[in-house]
Structure 1
Amino acid sequence: MTAPVFDLQAIIARLVVYPVKSCAGVELPEVLLTETGLEFDRAWMVVDATGEFVSQRELPRMALIQPTMKHMEMVLRAPGMLALHIAFDRVEKPVRAKVWKDEVAAYDMGDIAAQWFSDFLSEPGKPQVLRLVRFDPEHKRLSNMKWTDGVEAPNQFSDGFPLLVASEASLAELNDKLVAAEHGAVTMARFRPNIVLAGIEAQDEDRVETLHIATTEGEARLRPAKPCPRCPIPDIDPVTAVSTPEVNDMLRTYRANPKVDGAVTFGMNCIVLDGVEHLLKVGQSVGANYRFE
């Protein structure tokens, strides 16, 4: 069989999972692709006393919480805190949790985890009552079908889609502009993608149809669905949790996107078409054709 010829060829440069929504990511050499995205991505979430999710938008110190994925547990570390161990196979009582407009089934992770997050994220004079919840895998939370062309694309606690894809070239373009304006360069951690592509031009991820990834188990196919509108989180330094405006200010000069009512975008939200249970690995080849509209 003749191999398909694509308009562009990339490779997977980085794979990143964000186990706890809005906390730091975990870079991995390989990770299982599931129907909701990368395994364990946004499987946990921090909620307030009403069950509403919280994020770096309100609590920028969440950026300083660093997960590590072990064989049977997740270990969370943060400055000045003892490590918190979360077993993969253990949850406590069922609860309801709210993420944006969706109310979903979840499991509370217990009082020790709740106290840990409340202690670390509280500021002097501003006590936080927070709890950690885990997504109930029996619950089906679908991406907005307006953007998926009618495909049912489940996700867990992500903002709305299973995967976010960005490219090294898009970040390099932004950094060139920041440095020219006498600002410091930034890292990809500010944009929180799951898959970072190398070998393509800046913003090519915006312009392609299906991504075809060559895995050992066969081809995985991801469809770019919606440009990712950026909130204030890219302005937060993931090392210090300090917010300054230069990143979004610069993006506004060249990344206003009419497809999302003029919002600033960076990266593409993607859905999984094929390849569930395939192993994605850094270095795998990715082919795609340009989209004609």
Structure 2
Amino acid sequence: ISLIFANADDDLSSSIRVPLQREGQRITVAVWGEEARGIDQGDGVAEWLSRHLEVPGARLIKSVDKEEFLRCLPPKKGGREGDGIDFQDGFPLLLLSRASASQLISHVPIAVGRCMDYRRFRPNILLDGCPAYTEEKYSTVEFEREDLGFSLDLTRPCSRCTVPSVDPDTGIMDTTTKEPFPTLFNLRRGDAIIGSCHPRHEAFLGSHRKKVFLGVNAVPRLVDGDGASTPVLRVGAVLYVIRASKKDKSVEAREPTVARIDQLIVYPIKSAAGVQVDHSEVTWKGLKHDRSYCIVVPVEESQQGARGEYRALSQAKTPRMSLIHPSLPSSEGITLSFMEDVEQPLTIRVPLLTDSRRITIVLWGNTAMGIDQGDPVAEWLSGHLGIPGTRLLKSVDDDELTRSLAVARDTAEAHGLDFHYIRPLDVLSRASAYQLISRVPVDVGRRMDCRRFRSNIILDGCPPFAEEKYATLQFQDHPSLSIDLDRLCDRCSIPSVDPDTGVMDTKTKEPYPTLLKYRRGSLIKDTCHPRHRQFITKHDKSVFMAVHATPRFAEGASSCPVVVRVGDVVHFV
């Protein structure tokens, strides 16, 4: 085996090649109170480990063959006669779904959680394409390819110690916040999850109510044969989770059409930071206050005329806009904070002006009109963005000017937009975001989260990209409201902007290269709902993430608005 001590300072990194020692000294050790035996691998690696770990006397041992010594898996842990393990904590395998890790991390305070990924939980098998915590709701994993010859017995949820608090890239344990342990304790205690797990786990969880759990310990089971051949498992293998019988083979047949609202985000100013809310009114224009303000600058003289005298700014050209954090607007106005220094944000209160100059601009080919909000905020914006002539506009009422919603299908409805792109809403599932981010090189991707994609509604509890496979979202508790999932959202360079620093990654340009590799139109057109295929076929070189959407009210304007909340259950139709 070869070992590398990967110090953050490459100059301090070192490696060692360790030849396999089969005849070395036998050493007996205790692993979680159980006896295990190993073969010492020599003084060279022992000295190397002692130096780098700063632990005198450290040694490396290799497990012995089970004919020499068998560390048995106890029956209380699902073991059967002949079942053996090496130096595992107690089970041969640990399974975790990417959605479970992502959902847990999403609840960690963002300053800490944005540096976390699934590696904190050290799974052997990372599952994708299933809802969060699927692995703890079922008893068995079977594989689509029967010739693999084995299944996995999902024995019990994995209790967690402090290891997930260690940053795997720095080797430093977070002794200040201790995250993610506080979040695990808040959300994943035994007494909190006992009712949502498979019945086989109830007794164990009931006796460990104050412990915290994530992932499932598992034991492989040969399905048939005498075990003469060793099964080989590959990345990409399709599996089913089984509750009770082999007839019940597909979670996807039962569960993927249901999700819940995990986050609601309002963006009061187009291309500025969002405001996370726990509830919001939904109108024909989307979430209340969303994109109701816009930052503009004068256009060049050669471009003036029919297109108006001002153009809207966006993060694509002005990434520092992400540092502008607005409050939710009120009838009194709006407050802006420039968060370049989070310890000392620079703030301005902007009283609402309704009778000042009207300014006409063009957004994505449509005329829009806004009310100028005065010189003080204009000077404040110009100073912080470094762009002379910047103004802040507030949208006008529909009776003054309606920016028409570009209709994708035949409809008699004609409702307006404020300063949105082409639809009032943007819908994204957390599983989609984290599946994409997981494919970004880890040194870049670990700083990314859902905010890169600036969606209004973040869904959880559904498989990745469920939002693009269906036509409509229906609310379980709001029968008068549905959301048309109109068109996939084509992506520009804005996701390459770090929302915490206001800096665009012009070096790697991530996540755009990853989007180009996995989310190009030509790659996904056959996996989407048929309504999207014509558009995607026309734009097969573009990249897509999330879905543009439009609210629909069953009883007309009389049922508008509807208040939706985080936690609301939605059904894909």
Is 1:239 equivalent to 2:533 in the alignment?
Answer: no
Is 1:177 equivalent to 2:439 in the alignment?
Answer: yes
Query: What is the letter of the counterpart of residue 267 of structure 1?
Result: A
Q: CA deviation at 1:98?
A: 2.1
Asked if 1 retains the 8 angstrom alpha-carbon contact of 2:263 and 2:566, the reply is yes
2-structure distance, mates of 1:277, 1:255: 34
1:214 corresponds to which of 458, 476, 488: 476
Q: How many corresponding residue pairs?
A: 278
Which residues of 2 match residues 1-293 of structure 1 at below 5 A?
8-49=257-298, 50-69=309-328, 72-78=332-338, 79=340, 82-88=346-352, 90=354, 92-122=356-386, 127-138=387-398, 139-145=401-407, 147-150=408-411, 151-179=413-441, 182-185=443-446, 186-215=448-477, 218-244=479-505, 245-258=509-522, 259-260=535-536, 261-262=539-540, 263-274=542-553, 276-289=560-573
1-structure distance, mates of 2:292, 2:409: 22
2-structure distance, mates of 1:184, 1:105: 38
Q: CA deviation at 1:31?
A: 0.7
Question: Which digits, 9 at most, give the CA deviation of each residue in 1:98-153, with x for residues without a partner?
Answer: 2221222221111111111111110xxxx4211011111222112222x2443534
| CA pair 91-264 structure 1, distance change in 2 beyond 3 A | farther
Asked if 1 retains the 8 angstrom alpha-carbon contact of 2:489 and 2:547, the reply is yes
Flag structure 2 segments of 5+ consecutive residues without an equivalent. 1-253, 299-308, 523-534, 554-558
Q: CA deviation at 1:257?
A: 1.6
Query: What is the letter of the counterpart of residue 283 of structure 1?
Result: G
Asked if 2 retains the 8 angstrom alpha-carbon contact of 1:10 and 1:197, the reply is yes
**Radius of gyration: which is bigger?**
2
| CA pair 91-269 structure 1, distance change in 2 beyond 3 A | farther
Q: CA deviation at 1:6?
A: 8.9
Aligned to 2:187: none
Query: What is the letter of the counterpart of residue 178 of structure 1?
Result: V
More strand by share: 1
Question: Which digits, 9 at most, give the CA deviation of each residue in 1:188-245, with x for residues without a partner?
Answer: 1110000000111111100111111234x64311101110000100001001111121
Question: Which digits, 9 at most, give the CA deviation of each residue in 1:237-285, with x for residues without a partner?
Answer: 0011111212011011111125331210100000111152110100001
Query: What is the letter of the counterpart of residue 549 of structure 2?
Result: C
Partner SS, residue 251 of structure 1: helix
Asked if 2 retains the 8 angstrom alpha-carbon contact of 1:214 and 1:220, the reply is no
2-structure distance, mates of 1:173, 1:58: 27
Asked if 1 retains the 8 angstrom alpha-carbon contact of 2:268 and 2:329, the reply is no
2-structure distance, mates of 1:57, 1:142: 24
Q: CA deviation at 1:57?
A: 1.2
Flag structure 1 segments of 5+ consecutive residues without an equivalent. none
- Point out which structure has higher relative CO (alpha carbons under 8 A, 6+ apart): 1
TM-score, length-scaled by structure 1? 0.88
Partner SS, residue 208 of structure 1: coil
Q: Pairwise CA RMSD of aligned residues? A: 2.1
1-structure distance, mates of 2:572, 2:495: 27
More helix by share: 2
The percent identity for this pair of structures is 27
